[in-house]
Copies of this chain bind each other. A is one copy, B any other.
Amino acid sequence: MIERVLIIGTGLIGASVGLALRSSGFVGRIDGWDHSSLELTAAEQMGAIDGRAASRETTLEIARVADVVVLAMPVLAIKDWMQALAPIVGSGQLVTDVGSTKLEITELATKLFGGEHKAVFLPGHPMAGKESGGAMLAESGLFDGAMWLFTPVAEQPAAVEKEWRGWVGCFGARSLDMDAARHDELCAWVSHLPQMLSTALAALLEDTFGDAPEIGAIGARALRETTRLGASPYSMWRDVAMTNTQPIADTLLALEQRLTHLRENLRTPGLRDEFELANRFRRRR
């Protein structure tokens, strides 16, 4: 029975996990830690966690006795915590994460966890978020209807892993297991490419127009939507780019070539073909 959860990283996702546990009827204790005391205070005040660890060292002490440790921060920080946690957690305990890329985390988990007397590691990735982070934006319903991907290490799930998957289901999330490399390749297409595209477009417009008032005056929904992700924080995306470089580079190159093709066909039937393919893609969704 999961009775004690420790959430390391109480930003948007971490604090939302705490709130979702509470609103799904979890009655155990939830401890939290974040290197930002602002995030930690916000998470505590909104009831996402019951108590805050006093330091990184205290957090490791709490991890010794927690049933589940949730790592909710950028990918490279997750890898650091995995190294710190591996020697001190053990049999019957679960460590899971919500990182955006899964191959490096899953490979590290195979090395550090899952042996005899060791804790179980379940790599996870809820496809939920907002363009801005922070505990203040956390919601108990953030995962309702969202997809929560897992890239499991163990062949046979341990009891504590099954129970945690049950809670994720209680949050309203659907879940899907997949290979970690395939996860990163697919996420390059559906998440990382849209992000990089939106960042590049917003950066280009900023360079071109700066504070010229015209863009604000005439820019409509199309512009707002395609640049919305431009508000995303570098702190998180740096780690995505670092841990999924080749798949992201591949999708970017493919898009560059596609835009060149479209540009060279603005006055030919090639443009119609592009619109027809795009229309077909949207009809499926």
Interface residues of A (CB under 8 A from B): 127-129, 131, 146-147, 149, 176, 186-187, 189-191, 193-209, 211, 214-220, 222-234, 237-238, 241-242, 245, 248-249, 252-256, 258-263, 266-267, 271-285
Does the CB pair A271–B226 fall under 8 Å? no
Known: A203-B278, A207-B277, A234-B271. A197 touches B197 (CB 8 A): yes
Considering the complex, give the chain B residue whose CB is closest to the CB of A192.
Answer: B222
Complex Cα spacing A186 to B220, Å: 12
Chain B residue contacts of A149, Cβ below 8 A: 218
Does the CB pair A206–B278 fall under 8 Å? yes
Which listed residue (B208, B215, B262, B278) contacts A252, Cβ 8 A?
A: B262
Known: A194-B201, A200-B274, A255-B204. A227 touches B263 (CB 8 A): no
Beyond known contacts A241-B266, A256-B260, A256-B263: 15 more, CB 8 A cutoff: A190-B219, A190-B220, A191-B220, A194-B226, A197-B197, A202-B278, A203-B273, A203-B275, A222-B229, A230-B281, A234-B275, A242-B266, A249-B263, A252-B259, A259-B259
Does the CB pair B223–A255 fall under 8 Å? no
Considering the complex, give the chain B residue whose CB is closest to the CB of A268.
Answer: B241
Chain B residue contacts of A128, Cβ below 8 A: 220
Known: A215-B186, A238-B272, A256-B256. A191 touches B278 (CB 8 A): no
Known: A237-B275, A271-B241. A262 touches B200 (CB 8 A): yes
